[in-house]
Structure 1
Amino acid sequence: MPRKKKSHKYDIAGPSRRGLVRAIDGAAALDCSGINALSPKCKSTEAAYTRDFFYVGGDYVASTVPGQSIFTGQMYVEKLTPLTGVNQTYPLVFMSAGVPSGTVWLNTPDNRKGWASYFVEAGYQVYIVDITGNGRSGQNDVAAFPLRFGSTDNITQDGFTAPELSAHPYPQASGHDKWPGSGVRGDPVFDAFQASIVPLTANSTNQELSMRAAGCALLSIVGESVTFCHSGSCQYTVLLADACPDLIRASVNLEPTCLPFQSLLGDPAGPDKGRLPSRPYGFTNTPLTYDPPIASAAELRPVEVGVDTPALRSCFLQAAGNGTAVRHTLPQVAKVPFVMYTASASPHVTYDHCVALYLNQTGVPYEWTKLSDVGIAGNGHFFFLETNNLEIAAVVEADLQKLRAS
């Protein structure tokens, strides 16, 4: 008896129609943008490397169970080694602010190549860390590292992905156009980015102390390196420059949220100007090595400088000059070149000059690149995830080559 021919759902369209639909189906199956990249059919765009991971820093502390201990304060580290071999002098150590964990340095939320792959392909040994008490570094000791949310959808939209749509924007926000997608909740790229945001510790003192210890322990193993930080993680690289400067070739700061003596959050036109006191030691919440030495942060006597506007915020600097106070410098931090980058449409374009002024006041050598000055416009705070992220990486890598040659 002849075998019955199987019907096909496209048979009614005829052979030509079947081929067209199958081609369309195939194209859809190979859409590897965003979360679709999880499909086994999708090929990664990331660099070829070998990967190792380990934990560094931390120690045993008593648990809530009598006679038993837990391990806490440790830092998760990934080591990425190019398959083609390392041909650059200094390893790169990438730290995120912990809003997304260290995974933020890998592929972008819409599944384009990230900065880790870019620098691996350029021949660098790359290390990626999750800051202590965050992400894969864990929160075993919830008393030492109490958790708070990392970011809400509104904070992410207004500050990172769609500042141009904010109800109370700074003027430069209107130029933001480099986030992939609409930048608002419901867009798949935004949702993928928001899903990557993890809880943070609310204890900034313990965070800084553990990062100082774990960070220097890592560098003592790795050797002299270039540290990369973004946003709030730049407090930690300042601490490392203070504690173990001989292990840091340079500090690359992407829009550093180590704004002296303050935090700028919320509406700059509001009654408090969106400003809260913060970082009493200038760049940090915990002590730095000042000269002349200080017994307490109060001796720095910060005062407001400049006229405050939404486009250019006033700064807080040490009260120094005209015999009113002693100006305290940062001799340890000054041993490490401070390299800073600011995007044209990020909130940081309104206040990163305050970081530069305090670096100058404390005797720390720095180079500051405004991306608009090198012909790159339209970027926000997470510019290393935006549509031109590799163009910006090339600018940074060129500067690294100058450091290597110096």
Structure 2
Amino acid sequence: MSKTPPHLDDRVEPITVRTGSFWVPGEQISTPYGTLPRGPLYVEWMSPVEVTRPYPLLLVHGGGGQGTDWLTTPDGRQGWAYDLVRAGYAVYVVDRPGHGRSPHHPDVLGDVAPPLPLEFASFLFAPPEAAGTQTQWPWDRTLDGEEFQQLTSAMGFFMADFAEAQRLDGERLAALLDRIGPAVLITHSAGSPGGWLAANRRPELVKGIVAVEPMGPPYAEFPGLGEITYGLTYAELATEPAIESPEQLKADPSQYRIPGLSGTPVGVVTGSASGSAAQSPPLVEFLRAVGADAALLALADAGIVGNGHGLILEANSSDTVKPVIAWLERLETDLSSTGVSL
């Protein structure tokens, strides 16, 4: 018997949304082929018919993924973007430059890193040895498993120059903030550096950041990439006072403030069965050291267990978003109580 198509699936709750899309253009550059745009950012927006929340949400996907990570799950349900719209938010879902619908050509953006193999995706999202604890990936964990193939079919590749890729993410997200106004950033995994950099560039436009399973811990060393140069990012972060070398920030981060993070509420979300969960507490400590109002949002503290690194995509995704919505509601209350115009 054939399966019910996802768009007819009873698990998909009907919702009326307003939708659209646009581009944040890249700068124009001269090439042997003529003038080309460099690194445009694709943006898909969604909102309820009546927006009831004061700030929109800007959703930034991780690593080799794309904006569809927020739109659907490997088993065909609606993703976090729809849950957030149901909660009254307007959301902006982006494809980072060089990913998904934001096209890449090495003659424009530079060389690409080797492709990400399925084995790496298995290690990150559905390791066979974690089956006993990562219960919210209840599906086949083999490379040809149906849900695993749905997940990995969306994955692309990285730019070889990781610092430049993050720099580009930060610049385009900052330009998007210029267009949409004050917002809250929600990032996943290796999308987190672009969020830190966007806030660093537009501190007055970022009201808060939710970092889901963010890249870390600070100054971790990744094969082929070296140490995370600025603790949170490979690309340059502006600090107050200014530093002449990233080694100064590493030596004593408490002596510096990072504009866009200093005083900014940050929630760092982790899953109980994630191999990346251990990197989040030291990241929260680093964020606090540079002045952020950072807190660890462990899903287990909300009674939600069994989630791995891809907690936005797993079987209980409609539950994993609930602590985030609660955090956003507290943020709105705190901003209102301090006299911030909503």
Is the pair's TM-score, using the shorter chain for normalization, greater than 0.5? yes
**Matching of residues 144-293 of structure 1 within 5 Å:** 144-149=109-114, 151-162=116-127, 164-165=129-130, 174-263=132-221, 277-293=226-242
Work out the CA distance in 2 between the residues paired with 1:377 and 1:105: 20
What residue in structure 2 maps to residue 366 of structure 1? 294
**Paired amino acid for 1:37:** P
**Paired amino acid for 1:79:** W
Q: Tell whether the 8 Å contact from 1:76 to 1:136 is kept in structure 2 after alignment.
A: yes
**Paired amino acid for 2:31:** S
**Matching of residues 52-67 of structure 1 within 5 Å:** 52-65=20-33
SS of equivalent to 1:333: coil
Render the CA deviation track for 1:268-287: whole Å, top value 9, x for unaligned.
Answer: xxxxxxx9732211111122
SS of equivalent to 2:172: helix
Work out the CA distance in 2 between the residues paired with 1:145 and 1:50: 36
Residue of structure 1 aligned with 2:243, choices 278, 294, 304: 294
**Paired amino acid for 1:353:** P
2:42 aligned with 1:76: yes
SS of equivalent to 1:366: strand
Change (3 A) 1:340 1:374: same
Q: Tell whether the 8 Å contact from 1:384 to 1:392 is kept in structure 2 after alignment.
A: yes
**Paired amino acid for 2:24:** V
Could you say which structure has the larger radius of gyration? Answer: 1
What residue in structure 2 maps to residue 110 of structure 1? 75
Alignment TM-score, normalising by the size of structure 2: 0.90
Change (3 A) 1:42 1:398: closer
2:16 aligned with 1:48: yes
Change (3 A) 1:100 1:146: same
**Paired amino acid for 2:36:** I
Work out the CA distance in 2 between the residues paired with 1:81 and 1:149: 37
Residue 379 of structure 1 and its aligned partner are, at CA, apart by 0.6
Work out the CA distance in 2 between the residues paired with 1:211 and 1:276: 17
Work out the CA distance in 1 between the residues paired with 2:98 and 2:125: 23
Residue 42 of structure 1 and its aligned partner are, at CA, apart by 6.1
Residue 150 of structure 1 and its aligned partner are, at CA, apart by 5.2
Residue 205 of structure 1 and its aligned partner are, at CA, apart by 2.4
Work out the CA distance in 1 between the residues paired with 2:197 and 2:276: 21
Unaligned runs of 5+ in 2: 335-342
Q: Tell whether the 8 Å contact from 1:175 to 1:345 is kept in structure 2 after alignment.
A: yes
Residue 64 of structure 1 and its aligned partner are, at CA, apart by 1.8
Work out the CA distance in 1 between the residues paired with 2:170 and 2:276: 25
Alignment TM-score, normalising by the size of structure 1: 0.76
Residue of structure 2 aligned with 1:142, choices 97, 107, 113: 107
Change (3 A) 1:116 1:319: same
2:251 aligned with 1:319: yes
**Paired amino acid for 1:230:** H
**Paired amino acid for 2:295:** E
Work out the CA distance in 2 between the residues paired with 1:150 and 1:390: 31
Residue 263 of structure 1 and its aligned partner are, at CA, apart by 3.6
**Paired amino acid for 1:202:** A
- Give the fraction of aligned pairs with identical amino acids, expressed as a percent: 28
Q: Tell whether the 8 Å contact from 2:196 to 2:260 is kept in structure 1 after alignment.
A: no
What residue in structure 2 maps to residue 37 of structure 1? 6
Work out the CA distance in 2 between the residues paired with 1:248 and 1:181: 37
Residue 57 of structure 1 and its aligned partner are, at CA, apart by 3.7
Residue 222 of structure 1 and its aligned partner are, at CA, apart by 0.8
RMSD over aligned CA atoms reads 2.3
